[in-house]
Amino acid sequence: MSKRKLYITTAIDYVNASPHIGHALEKIQADVIARYYRLLDEEVFFLTGTDENSLKNVQAAEKERIDVKELVEKYAERFYQLKEALNLSFDDFIRTTEERHTKGAQKLWLACKEDIYKKTYKGLYCVGCEVFYKEGELINGLCPEHKTKPELIEEENYFFRLSKYQNELEKIIETDKIQIIPESRKNEVLSFIRSGLEDICISRSAERAKGWGIPVPDDPTQIIWVWFDALTNYITALGYAKDSEKFQEFWQENENKLHIIGKGISRFHCIYWPAILLSAKLSLPNTIFIHGYITVSGQKMSKSLGNVIDPFELVKRYGTDPVRYFLLREISPTEDGDFTDEKFRERYNADLAKGLGNLVARVITLATKLKTQNSELQLKTQNLKLKEKIDKTQEKYKKALEEFKFNEALISIWDLIHFCDKYIEEKRPWETKDPEVISDLLIALSNIAKLLKPFLPETSEKILEQLKTKESKPLFPRLSS
Ligand SMILES: [Zn+2]
């Protein structure tokens, strides 16, 4: 039997600035899912990348007084470097300025041709969002996402017949044919659909785009709207332009396609993207998981407030796994979460240095002192209470991960860690020198290391290594307060 396939994507990021920890959160969430299912022996393809055709990039380049190409090159590289900094296991990184993408985006445009028409349009455009807003969607006349005043724009553009798909989309979302997680976001999407879908503008004049972007096929005076272009990355990366085998296997014939995105772009992914796919008669994604935003000391991260947290800096200071741990444990998977340096250090000291680090050091030291040999180890513990605890932990962990509850999966592991601490206090192996107790603890530790693998891959390896060598090395040196 062939392996179950899983296709996981993150949003592709605008390259007008360096990544912040919000970007890091999304990539790490996707990475945990990818690693978890790979360990279950599924064939996983994990994609991330950069969205480079936005007008925002043109404006950012003007500000930095460099060429747009140079700007996107610089920041795309920065986003790629997250791979090493955060230990991400993605299989491919797509840039929307690549030929495989531009060709694919144009092909998809042509596949939607029946639903595309031209008309003159006047509307309020937010460059930050790259989207036209209706008067009623603005808050005090400002973009709800950027709090900036949109520009009034009038030009002749191409439109996509979104209205035609209203009923079909409603049914698809309602019946979870595309499952939107969490439920609250699904309800938001449904109410937006029920409020009535209007056709969307999917091009802009080449003049307004300053020549940057992907030209509309057969009409070089127009550039494909950056969202139509960007969404296409999920299939162009698989080789849609050439109708490759990978595209067939991971998109068309695959029932496990997962998009991981932030709450600000749910409309594009849950409504526009499926409509485009329906129009082109292509397969739909199966699951869309939507995370919240990270605030810093209760405030929105922004350049102007100067409170943007740089993931590279954080990793340099604390290491990769502590950053992964904090974002997955402290930040709610689906709601907004808050970052402060204090919270970070508290989590680090309490859970990593004291909780996990301490247990590993204690058990390995005991095993070394009492010379517990691997030959004395049974594969399964004979202690019923401990065995039951490990089984329960595995169940809870599995259920949590299937529901994208990263924090709950970690809580279940730390429950097991605390259980082991108590077990040591109860059994006092340093006095009794009971080899069976040490053996039980080594077994528990090996289970903990395996459960940690998708979350803290490096730490998991280190624990497994110490179990082999019985050489105790501190995992997380305590931070002074
Ligand atoms: Zn905006």
Give the chain's domains with CATH numbers: 342-469 (1.10.730.10)
Q: What angle do CA 311, 418, 389 make, to 5 degrees?
A: 115
CA distance 275 to 267: 11
pLDDT tens readout for residues 325-384: 999 999 999 999 999 999 999 999 999 999 999 999 999 999 998 876 655 455 667 788
Candidates 4, 83, 11; CA nearest to 44 is 4
Whether 259 sits among the annotated catalytic residues: the reply is no
CA distance 287 to 181: 8
Active-site residue, selected from the candidate residues 74, 83, 103, 146: 146
Whether 316 sits among the annotated catalytic residues: the reply is no
Query: Coil, strand, or helix at residue 100?
Result: helix
What average pLDDT does the segment 229-245 reach?
Answer: 98
Categorize the per-residue pLDDT at 215 as very low, low, confident or very high, splitting at 50, 70 and 90.
very high
Whether 270 sits among the annotated catalytic residues: the reply is no
Note the pLDDT of residue 380: 67
- For residue 102, give the H/E element and its range: helix 99-111
Q: What is the mean pLDDT of the chain?
A: 95
Q: Is the pLDDT of residue 303 over 90?
A: no
Query: What is each CA distance from 164 to 132, 196, 198, 272, in whole angstroms?
Result: 19, 11, 9, 12
CA distance 349 to 479: 6
Q: Is the pLDDT of residue 398 over 70?
A: yes
Note the pLDDT of residue 481: 65
With beta carbons less than 8 A apart as the criterion, state whether 160 and 276 touch. Answer: yes
What average pLDDT does the segment 5-33 reach?
Answer: 96
One-letter amino acid identity for 254?
A: N
Note the pLDDT of residue 382: 72
Task: Report CA(437)–ligand 1 centroid distance (Å).
Answer: 60
Q: What pTM does this model have?
A: 0.95
Query: Coil, strand, or helix at residue 293?
Result: coil
Task: Report CA(198)–ligand 1 centroid distance (Å).
Answer: 19
Whether 147 sits among the annotated catalytic residues: the reply is no
Active-site residue, selected from the candidate residues 5, 20, 101, 259: 20
Categorize the per-residue pLDDT at 319 as very low, low, confident or very high, splitting at 50, 70 and 90.
very high
Active-site residue, selected from the candidate residues 112, 129, 270, 420: 129
* Joined tokens for residue 97: 């300025």
With beta carbons less than 8 A apart as the criterion, state whether 290 and 263 touch. Answer: yes
Task: Report CA(360)–ligand 1 centroid distance (Å).
Answer: 48
One-letter amino acid identity for 468?
A: K
Distance of CA 408 to the CA centre of its chain: 17
Q: Is the pLDDT of residue 200 over 90?
A: yes
Task: Report CA(29)–ligand 1 centroid distance (Å).
Answer: 25
- For residue 375, give the H/E element and its range: none
* Joined tokens for residue 154: 């009038």
Whether 371 sits among the annotated catalytic residues: the reply is no
Active-site residue, selected from the candidate residues 5, 101, 126, 291: 126
Task: Report CA(61)–ligand 1 centroid distance (Å).
Answer: 19
* Joined tokens for residue 381: 């513990």
Largest CA distance in the chain: 85
Note the pLDDT of residue 456: 98
CA distance 168 to 174: 10
Whether 164 sits among the annotated catalytic residues: the reply is no
Note the pLDDT of residue 205: 92
